[in-house]
């Protein structure tokens, strides 16, 4: 796994971190067994994580329509996986680097060293977006912190 530093590899003043507030879900409302004749779902259900709701102090609902799912086991499994992936607050880092960072692909895991005040922090991130400016050969990267 490659390590990049905000002092050497990342271009000056381009590193930023923001929380992925829109991606949080502590309560999944899901519907399955879609009846195409009447355009209605036959079954609705709910998965929650009460511990995270207590930690956040509020609920973050997400509605999922499973048009293709016919049985409860599959619907429960999908809802459980969505809840496990979205119940923690993820951080999104955005930065610019030189073209050398293209040695990594989308979904590659990288380590990023950066200073949060006087403290050096190392985070393992997954690259989720790559943009290349062909005029300046600057690469813009968006990466999500692995919880």
Q: pLDDT tens across 48-92, in order?
A: 998 888 888 888 999 999 999 999 999 999 999 999 888 888 889
Which domain CATH number covers 40?
Answer: 3.30.1920
On whether both 74 and 95 belong to a single domain, the answer is: no
- Point out which residues pair with 9 in neighbouring strands: none
pLDDT at 15: 86
pLDDT in tens, 87-146: 888 889 999 998 889 999 999 999 988 887 888 888 899 999 999 999 999 999 999 987
Beta strand pairing call for 61-65 and 27-35: parallel
pLDDT at 147: 67
Q: Give the separation between CA 122 and CA 37, rounded to whole angstroms.
A: 54
Radius of gyration of the chain (CA): 20
Count: domains in the chain: 2
Q: Which of 86, 110, 128 is the last residue of a domain?
A: 86
pLDDT at 63: 94
On whether both 16 and 30 belong to a single domain, the answer is: no
Q: Which of 86, 105, 120 is the last residue of a domain?
A: 86
On whether both 76 and 60 belong to a single domain, the answer is: yes
pLDDT at 76: 95
- DSSP assignment letter at 107: T
Is-above-0.95 flag for pTM? Answer: no
């Amino acid at each position: 796994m490659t390590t990049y530093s905000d002092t050497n590899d990342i271009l000056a003043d381009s590193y930023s971190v923001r929380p992925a507030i829109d991606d949080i879900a502590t309560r999944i409302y899901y519907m399955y067994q879609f009846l195409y004749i009447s355009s209605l779902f036959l079954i609705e259900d709910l998965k929650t994580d009460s511990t995270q709701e207590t930690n956040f102090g509020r609920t973050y609902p997400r509605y999922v329509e499973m048009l293709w799912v016919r049985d409860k086991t599959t619907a429960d499994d999908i809802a459980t996986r969505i809840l496990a992936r979205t119940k923690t607050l993820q951080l999104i880092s955005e930065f610019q680097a030189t073209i050398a960072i293209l040695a990594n692909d989308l979904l590659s895991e990288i380590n990023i060293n950066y200073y949060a005040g006087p403290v050096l922090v190392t985070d393992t991130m997954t690259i989720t977006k790559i943009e290349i400016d062909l005029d300046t050969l600057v690469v813009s990267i968006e990466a999500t912190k692995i919880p």
